Structure 1
Amino acid sequence: MTPHRPRRPPHQRRTWLFVPGNDDTAHAAALRSGADAIVVDLEEMTSPQGRPDARRRIAAFLPRAQATGTIGSVRINKLEHDGYADLEGVMPGQPRAIFLPHAESAAQLAALDSALADIERRLDIPPGSTEMIPVIESAKGLVNLGALLQVSPRITCCMLAVEDLAANLGARRTPAGDELLYARSRFLIECVAAGCVPLDLPCTWRSAAVLERDMEQSTQLGFASKSVVYPEHVPAIHRALTPSEADMRAARALVEAHCAQQDNGGAVAPGSAWIDYPERNNAKQLISRYKLFNPTE
């Protein structure tokens, strides 16, 4: 039995695990994975002929996810494709968020906002309670991102895709991922400026070693939330994004040592190492993140 966990607000959702829409086994595995949010996918992971059945399965699955405290969400198709049918099929399950793929224009997001408002009214769902998460998969979407994030207050998070984005840019994919470093940086800056939580691109290499390097780059840039395509990646991502009590105590000791160093006019106590401001700042960030998940401490 999957234990109940408190439902996390946007800035505490570390992992968004994507699963196929019509695979009950994958749905159950996703719940067991411990991911903070599950994205049941009607786009790439579900064939067009499988979508009608998948919508029914998703509508039934979403309340189960919510009952455990997991954020249940759905990636629909573009509205001009099967998106409207997707919404009609899954909204009775009251997803917490709807992912819109290939977001490039304000008009796309305004149309989704309008469609959600209509369905919420018809189904007696609290107005405005369904979040919208644009998925950025092209250069056009990335350069328009600042404007896209202003379309609706429903937009609390935004996701950067990886393989379609790389294809659009003509980038040659490598395990190091340096080919998408600028895109990740630009995406993060635009989201932070708009007050929106940026969801980093998924690591689509299964290797644990590649994931470790990817998370090192992700956290260096400043990401604190990540989309996921392999359930086994979830624990490692959580470890990277969740400071332990030991981490917090070490960080606090470093900050105190830096304060003492400054109080002594920059002199280093015998047996101690010099502490630079970047090290102190990193430690203060870690303490702040620890408090985010442990507010009573």
Structure 2
Amino acid sequence: MTTYPIRTLAALRRTWFFVPGADPAAHTAALRSDADAIVVDLEEMTAPPERPRARELIVALLDGAAGCGALGAVRINRLEHDGLADLEGVMSGRPHAIFLPHTETPEQLAALDAHLGALEQRYGIEHGATEIVPTIESAAGLTRLAALLASSPRIRYCMLASEDLAASLGARRTPGGDELLHARSRFLLDTIAAGCHPIDLPCTYRADAVLLRDMERSTQLGFRSKCAVFVEHIDAIHRALTPSSEDALAAQMLLDAHRAQQSTGITGAMGWIDAPDANNARRTLERYEAAN
């Protein structure tokens, strides 16, 4: 019997690793990786003739993901395309989440919510247990984000795409990604304001240096969750999104200094510490404790 690494930190949802629906070797590689969440893609990564077979393979992969503690998810097609057939084919595998591509209207999400409710009842799944993750791939979706995220209680995470979004904007893609900086910032702001968790767009360049720069920007903006399309990116993403013991020690020292400053009014060796800095340190400690 094949065994896979147990994901002890999957609850942090640092990485959402996308793999093709009809590629068993890619499924095995995903299960052997340390990805927190495995998202099997029936849309762009799976040609229409391959989708019936892919749905069968996905049910098996979802079982494997559950066995090793990973979150198993599926990106379906739009409901007006093959999305309904995708749902019918994969829901017996009890996916943790369903990604909806090219989300632009609340009506799309309401329709998906209704179909999921019916399928949960059919398969004995607790009502509402299957999350919906809208994928924002256009200017229309991005500008309507607040309404989209309020359209279903199943929505707890939302993902920003890269290549389709750039095409929607008419942007020229570069490894530095400056052309998508405003979109990333707006997406992060609106998602957090809606009480949801933002998933940052994937780095679609394989160069290590490009990924490191991208992760520096991602964490600087405030993202704590990221899409991945290359298995070799997963470890680097985890390092960037998981506080180290040194990070935790520095955060604790800053909090201790802030408490002393609050009680005495005297500035310590670290200089004056503002409340936002203390709040960031507190969040770092909370995330460190969740990871240990």
Which bracket does the TM-score occupy, shorter chain normalised? over 0.9
- Within 5 Å, give how 1:61-80 maps onto structure 2: 61-80=61-80
Report the aligned-residue RMSD.
Answer: 1.8
How far off its partner does 1:280 sit? 4.9
Contact 1:133 1:155 in 2 (8 A): yes
1:132-171 CA-partner distances (Å, limit 9, x unpaired):
1100000000011100111111111100000000000011
Contact 2:206 2:230 in 1 (8 A): yes
- What is the letter of the counterpart of residue 283 of structure 1? A
Structure 2 counterpart of 1:127 = 127
- In the alignment, structure 1 segments of 5+ residues that lack a partner are none
1:266-289 CA-partner distances (Å, limit 9, x unpaired):
364xxxx64653655543332232
- In the alignment, structure 2 segments of 5+ residues that lack a partner are none
Structure 1 counterpart of 2:246 = 246
1:40-92 CA-partner distances (Å, limit 9, x unpaired):
00000001111111011101211111111000000000010000111111111
Structure 2 counterpart of 1:286 = 284
Contact 1:16 1:37 in 2 (8 A): yes
CA distance in 2, matches of 1:216, 1:281: 20
Structure 1 counterpart of 2:196 = 196
Task: Provide closer, same or farther for how the CA distance between residues 145 and 257 of structure 1 changes in structure 2, counting only shifts above 3 A.
Answer: same
Aligned residue pair count: 288
Which deviates the most, 228-237 or 122-131?
Answer: 122-131
CA distance in 2, matches of 1:211, 1:276: 32
- What is the letter of the counterpart of residue 191 of structure 1? T
Q: Does residue 192 of structure 2 align to residue 156 of structure 1?
A: no
Flag as ranges the 4+ runs of structure 1 deviating above 6 A: none
Structure 1 counterpart of 2:225 = 225
- What is the letter of the counterpart of residue 138 of structure 2? S
CA distance in 2, matches of 1:112, 1:38: 20
- Within 5 Å, give how 1:37-56 maps onto structure 2: 37-56=37-56
How far off its partner does 1:4 sit? 2.8
Which deviates the most, 39-48 or 255-264?
Answer: 255-264
Contact 2:139 2:168 in 1 (8 A): yes
Structure 1 counterpart of 2:21 = 21
1:186-241 CA-partner distances (Å, limit 9, x unpaired):
11111111111110000111111111111111111111000100011111111111
Q: Does residue 291 of structure 2 align to residue 265 of structure 1?
A: no
Contact 1:7 1:71 in 2 (8 A): no
CA distance in 2, matches of 1:261, 1:192: 30
CA distance in 2, matches of 1:161, 1:5: 25
How far off its partner does 1:6 sit? 4.5
Structure 2 counterpart of 1:180 = 180
- TM-score of the superposition, structure 1-length normalised? 0.91
Contact 1:102 1:135 in 2 (8 A): yes
- TM-score of the superposition, structure 2-length normalised? 0.93
Task: Provide closer, same or farther for how the CA distance between residues 274 and 154 of structure 1 changes in structure 2, counting only shifts above 3 A.
Answer: same
How far off its partner does 1:32 sit? 1.4
Structure 2 counterpart of 1:86 = 86
How far off its partner does 1:23 sit? 0.7
Structure 1 counterpart of 2:5 = 3
Contact 1:198 1:225 in 2 (8 A): yes
- What is the letter of the counterpart of residue 135 of structure 1? T
CA distance in 2, matches of 1:115, 1:258: 51
CA distance in 2, matches of 1:267, 1:56: 62
